[in-house]
Amino acid sequence: MPSPAATASFSTRVIRWQRSHGRHGLPWQGTRDAYRIWLSEVMLQQTQVATVLPYFERFVARFPTVRDLACAEEDDVLRLWSGLGYYARARNLHRAARAVLATHGGSFPTTFDELARLPGVGRSTAAAIAAFAAGERRAILDGNVRRVVARHAGIGGDPGARETLARLWAEAEARLPADEIEAYTQGMMDLGASLCARHKPSCLACPVSADCIARLEDRVAELPGARARKPRDHRRIAMLVVCCQGEVLLEKRPPAGIWGGLWSLPEAPAACLPESVAASRWAMRESTATPLAPFRHAFTHFTLEVVPWRIDVRSRSTLACEPGTTWLALDEVAAAALPSPVKKLLAAL
């Protein structure tokens, strides 16, 4: 554990660096609006700032208040989120907005304890919102900050392991400044996103490199430690692109699991005969099946191999509409709540 003098020195250097070299002018900065800060923090989970910016702007334009978001249909929320990935975040975003409306009357909470009760808001996210919205003195430990702390304090081991995580949190809390928590919190985020990068960090420009254990002991490349990983799973499916007169058949996915709540293409075992599936599921007797180029899509824990088939039918009247199915015009695909790989597949048509 660093001494009080070292702790003050660390935080002072981070704050000074952030003011001169950190990120400024982002659309969620310079405000105490907890709603906008919350939106940005959820979107930035496992996603880079450059990717988040256009999504954030569209969300704020479409849902300027938490009440607007809470009253929206889930499909509208997922449609705006489409392409950002990790769709559980969007579903939790919608659930949390409704919780704020029901529990707080539409006034977004700003204290750590209240924020941590919202769906999809963990310890680090709640701390960041409380710090930026209310100046609450809380430590954060997102992926970038964890890397800074692990290197500076020389903490190895699996960062997902309970003991290692407890040490990282203790060090993060020990480094908190007495005041100026907003600049410090932003500075820690900015350090991890820029200078203290995972590969080829810029140690010479880092404001806290003088007493960084990883640099002093030549352990930068090994810290933070690697997470224990299971062998990557592979799954293989067929996607059926059922087309009729410029429209495509879609099915609503279950709320849980991959692409939860989105509209997507019907799926079948990869070894299926697409004409047989069309005939048995939708009574499509007169159809033509054409193979399309297979592709892969990587998720966090597995790789999905997709074998797509285009099935052309003469009339929609041959399809008995089932609950959770709809027809979508191909020229409306870009604006629909579809997974990114499905959008790319349909765009090629």
Let me know: does 123 contact 116? Beta carbons within 8 Å: yes
- Mean pLDDT value of segment 182-207: 96
With a cut of 80, say whether residue 306 has pLDDT above it: yes
Tokens in use for 320? 């008995």
Task: Give pLDDT, residue 321.
Answer: 62
Instruction: Look at the domain 233-347 and name its fold.
Output: Nucleoside Triphosphate Pyrophosphohydrolase (3.90.79)
Task: Give pLDDT, residue 281.
Answer: 66
pLDDT digits (tens, 9 = 90+) for 113-142: 999 999 999 999 999 999 999 999 999 999
- Mean pLDDT value of segment 40-60: 95
**Assigned CATH class of 4-222:** mainly alpha
Q: Please state, in angstroms and rounded to a whole number, the distance separating the CA atoms of residues 209 and 203.
A: 6
Q: pLDDT band at 348, cuts 50/70/90?
A: confident
Task: Give pLDDT, residue 4.
Answer: 47
pLDDT digits (tens, 9 = 90+) for 203-230: 999 999 999 999 999 999 999 988 877 7
Task: Give pLDDT, residue 23.
Answer: 95
List the beta strands (DSSP E) in 200-335. 233-244, 247-252, 263-264, 267-269, 287-291, 295-298, 302-313, 325-329
Q: Please state, in angstroms and rounded to a whole number, the distance separating the CA atoms of residues 230 and 207.
A: 36
Numbered ranges of CATH 1.10.340.30 in the chain = 4-222
- For residues 183, 189, 193, 195, the Cα torsion angle rounded to the nearest 10 degrees is 60
Numbered ranges of CATH 3.90.79.10 in the chain = 233-347
Residues 6+ apart with CB under 8 A from 130: 110, 111, 112, 115, 136, 138
The position carrying tokens 């954030």 is 56
Q: pLDDT band at 182, cuts 50/70/90?
A: very high
pTM of the model: 0.84
Task: Give pLDDT, residue 282.
Answer: 61
Q: Examine the residue annotation and report whether 267 is marked as an active-site residue of this protein.
A: no
Pairing assessment for the beta strands 302-313 and 233-244 based on DSSP bridges: parallel
Reduce the DSSP state of residue 152 to 3 states and report it: helix
Q: Please state, in angstroms and rounded to a whole number, the distance separating the CA atoms of residues 280 and 329.
A: 24
Angle at 181 between CA 175 and CA 184, to 5 degrees: 65
With a cut of 90, say whether residue 102 has pLDDT above it: yes
**Residue-averaged pLDDT of the chain:** 90
| Choice among 41, 114, 171, 182 that is catalytic | 41
Q: pLDDT band at 315, cuts 50/70/90?
A: confident
pLDDT digits (tens, 9 = 90+) for 62-89: 999 999 999 999 989 999 998 888 889 9
Q: 30-39, 72-81, 146-155: which range is least confident on average? A: 72-81
